[in-house]
């Protein structure tokens, strides 16, 4: 087991390095550089001097500098924001995105799993129809629509929560719920479909034939198997949610990582782009490994697949 984990960790490091290299190649393939922003209009000789200072005049040296900085977790200056380094931006924005993303996933699991179970247990009833309708609505509506509706109702009309910003517990509900709704819809659909398959299995019919209570059959026997597809979904979904949502951050004025990544891409800021991609790819690798461990715990037959 330990050897398999070490092999997976090594493969994760190789994957992160590959994503990092591919991202750098795409960044340097795009015309322009962060020194050519429209508001600067610097003379060509000044631009050339700055490119030489930051090693932008040679792509391979530039890549080696970024690779060395990535190993030391020092990504250099952020050209998108004056007097800020990439590390400072990550230190300020990443915790915000992590808090919102983690709470959003917890809300999504807390809402989606019970909804999917109820829809499967009471199949073809009005409750199942209501679950399917809400799921369809949650998947179809973009986050800027749901966010705007929640903002209008709870912040503008009812005045129960602040319109936007960050810093207090009152700023958490609206962005967290907005980010959680699509994930909750997907989790509810996955749970319902998986639960329907499990409820028709032989071991469930055997448990029912033994006279076990319905709640025991569903909670102790069916849920453990039906939850496996949800676990697979939670790996990449958690990594995506915890690296920030640009739309949610814009709607609610949250200083998260998503909007910094978009601004870096628009300004061709290689350092900020690479540091953000490195964070996302690292979280993705870690959560996928956690998913595999949960699989092995829920189903011991999956240990050999690690």
H helices present in 78-172, as ranges: 86-121, 126-140, 143-150
For residue 180, what pLDDT is reported?
93
Residue 211 is assigned to a structural domain of this protein: yes
Residue 28 is assigned to a structural domain of this protein: no
Residue 209 sits in a domain whose CATH number is 1.10.3720.10
Name the residue among 22, 26, 25, 45 with its Cα closest to residue 35. 45
For residue 175, what pLDDT is reported?
92
Roughly how many angstroms between the first and final C-alpha of the chain, as a whole number? 8
d(CA 180, CA 250): 16
For residue 37, what pLDDT is reported?
56
For residue 76, what pLDDT is reported?
78
Q: 158 burial class (0-12, 13-18, 19+ CB within 10 angstroms)? A: exposed
CA–CA distances in Å: residue 276 to residues 52, 78, 90, 116, 282: 24, 12, 8, 34, 10
Residue 38 is assigned to a structural domain of this protein: no
pTM value? 0.82
Residue 148 is assigned to a structural domain of this protein: yes
Name the residue among 136, 83, 90 with its Cα closest to residue 257. 90
Residue 63 is assigned to a structural domain of this protein: no
Total domains in the fold of the chain: 1
For residue 66, what pLDDT is reported?
75
- Per residue of the chain (306 residues), what is the pLDDT tens digit? 577 778 878 888 888 888 888 888 888 777 666 665 545 555 565 556 666 666 665 667 777 777 777 777 777 777 777 778 888 888 888 899 899 999 999 999 999 999 998 888 888 888 889 988 989 888 888 888 998 999 999 988 988 888 888 888 988 999 999 999 999 999 999 999 988 888 877 777 777 777 777 777 777 778 877 888 888 888 888 888 887 678 888 888 888 888 888 888 887 787 888 888 888 888 888 888 888 777 777 666 655 555
Give yes or no for a contact between 121 and 218, defined as CB atoms under 8 angstroms apart: yes
Residue 278 is assigned to a structural domain of this protein: no
Angle between helices 143-150 and 173-199 (to 10 degrees): 120
| Structure tokens that stand for 267 in this block | 């300004």
Residue 157 is assigned to a structural domain of this protein: yes
d(CA 8, CA 239): 18
Quick one: CA torsion of 62, 63, 65, 70, rounded to 10 degrees?
Answer: 140
Residue 238 is assigned to a structural domain of this protein: yes
The residue segments making up the domain with residue 249 are 97-257+288-298
């Amino acid at each position: 087991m330990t050897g398999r984990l070490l092999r997976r960790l090594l493969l994760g490091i190789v994957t992160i390095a590959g994503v990092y290299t591919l991202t750098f190649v795409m960044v340097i393939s795009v015309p322009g550089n962060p020194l050519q922003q429209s508001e600067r209009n610097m003379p060509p000789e000044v631009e050339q001097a700055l490119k030489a200072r930051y090693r932008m005049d040679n792509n391979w040296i530039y890549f080696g500098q970024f690779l060395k900085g990535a190993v030391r977790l020092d990504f250099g200056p952020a050209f998108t924001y004056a007097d800020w380094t990439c590390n400072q931006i990550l230190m300020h924005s990443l915790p915000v995105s992590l808090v919102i993303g983690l709470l959003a996933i917890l809300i999504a699991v807390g809402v989606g799993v019970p909804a999917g179970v109820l829809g499967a247990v009471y199949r073809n009833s009005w409750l199942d129809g209501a679950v399917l309708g809400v799921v369809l609505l949650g998947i179809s509506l973009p986050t800027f629509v749901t966010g705007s509706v929640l903002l209008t109702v709870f912040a503008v009309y009812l005045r129960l929560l602040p319109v936007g910003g960050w810093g207090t517990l009152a700023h958490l509900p609206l962005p967290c719920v907005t980010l959680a709704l699509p994930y909750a819809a997907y989790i509810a659909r996955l749970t319902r479909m998986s639960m329907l398959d499990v409820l028709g299995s032989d071991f469930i019919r055997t448990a029912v034939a033994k006279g076990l209570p319905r709640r025991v059959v569903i909670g102790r026997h069916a849920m453990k198997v039906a939850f496996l597809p949800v676990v697979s979904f939670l790996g990449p979904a958690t990594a995506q949610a915890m690296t920030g949502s640009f739309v949610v951050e814009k709607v609610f004025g949250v200083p998260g990582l998503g909007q910094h990544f978009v601004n870096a891409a628009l300004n061709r800021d290689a350092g900020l782009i690479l540091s953000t991609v490195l964070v996302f790819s690292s979280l993705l690798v870690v959560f996928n490994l956690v998913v595999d461990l949960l699989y092995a715990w829920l189903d011991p037959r999956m240990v050999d697949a690690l």
